[in-house]
Amino acid sequence: MTYKDSKSDERVHTDFREKMTYGEYLNLDELLSAQNRLSSHHDEMLFIVIHQVSELWMKLILHELRASIDAIRGGEMSSAFKMLARVSKIQTQIIHAWDVLSTLTPAEYIEFRDKLGQASGFQSYQYRMIEFALGYKTPHVLKIYEKDPELHSMLKESYQAPSIYDAAIEALANAGFDINPELLNRDFTVTYQGDESVEKAWTEVYLNVDQYWDLYELAEKLVDIEDWLQQWRFRHMKTVERIIGHKMGTGGSSGVGYLKKVLDHRFFPELWDIRTNL
């Protein structure tokens, strides 16, 4: 059955007895029934929705990062650039989410904060997997999810996998740059700290952009992602400070103190150092 809109002359389907609806395709019944408040406070809904939406965006970031790593290692740079550009756009959406959450006042949050128990965004396994994919390997998060063998196994696999920067360094080597061979077969569970051979290679790329355009564009895409991630971290820190001040986080972290400390971490150190040295 169709319904003809007299104004637009469009034929809209109205009979879905044997066809899939929009809501069924998106599993909206399940998705929209997952906002279960533990208090009667009005603003707990805001808190839940913001964090759930952010987790959905992070799921897509991981989807794109994993595919881009495979593309870089397979020499398909154009595909990787498309995916990494999408990651940067997604990151802007997550940053804007903090603007919405910051409408939650301290007086409102304390009305339901105790209902969270020890649950905390600090325990977000998808965020940790994004850090893993970017090269920041922190083993303590693995312990949090030992209670869930399937999830723990997934995290461990991500923890042991090469990061996107490892893939980029491999691409430099494949392009003929003299990269320290120890980097190409290193223990990927160790957070990368930097290497002179990689800095020399990136310097050469930036001094000869026309010759190494794909590597240059890859470098800039990585800088975009780290830049946006640090902006996300900063907005996270300021939103937490605005709502709970310097209280300890529900998950046991130092809260604002911890969030300020991680702002100093760099994922792709040489890509920032060469800007001073060029």
pLDDT digits (tens, 9 = 90+) for 111-124: 999 998 888 877 89
CA distance 257 to 240: 10
CA distance 202 to 216: 8
Res 5: pLDDT = 58
236 in a labelled binding site: yes
Distance, C-alpha 47 to centroid of its chain: 19
- Helix/strand number for the chain, H first, E second: 14, 2
Res 14: pLDDT = 76
pLDDT (tens digit, 9 = 90+) per residue, 25-75? 999 999 999 999 999 999 999 999 999 999 999 999 999 999 999 999 999
113 in a labelled binding site: yes
141 in a labelled binding site: no
179 in a labelled binding site: no
50 in a labelled binding site: yes
110 in a labelled binding site: no
Answer whether 239's CB lies under 8 Å from 105's CB: no
CA distance 12 to 130: 41
152 in a labelled binding site: no
22 in a labelled binding site: no
Res 9: pLDDT = 58
Sort 121 into a burial class: Cβ within 10 Å, 0-12 / 13-18 / 19+. Answer: middle
Res 3: pLDDT = 53
Res 244: pLDDT = 84
49 in a labelled binding site: yes
The Cβ of residue 217 has, within 10 Å, a number of other Cβ atoms equal to 17
> Across the 278 residues of the chain, what is the mean pLDDT of every consecutive 10-residue run?
58 78 94 96 96 97 98 97 98 95 94 88 90 93 89 95 98 98 96 97 98 98 97 92 79 75 90 95
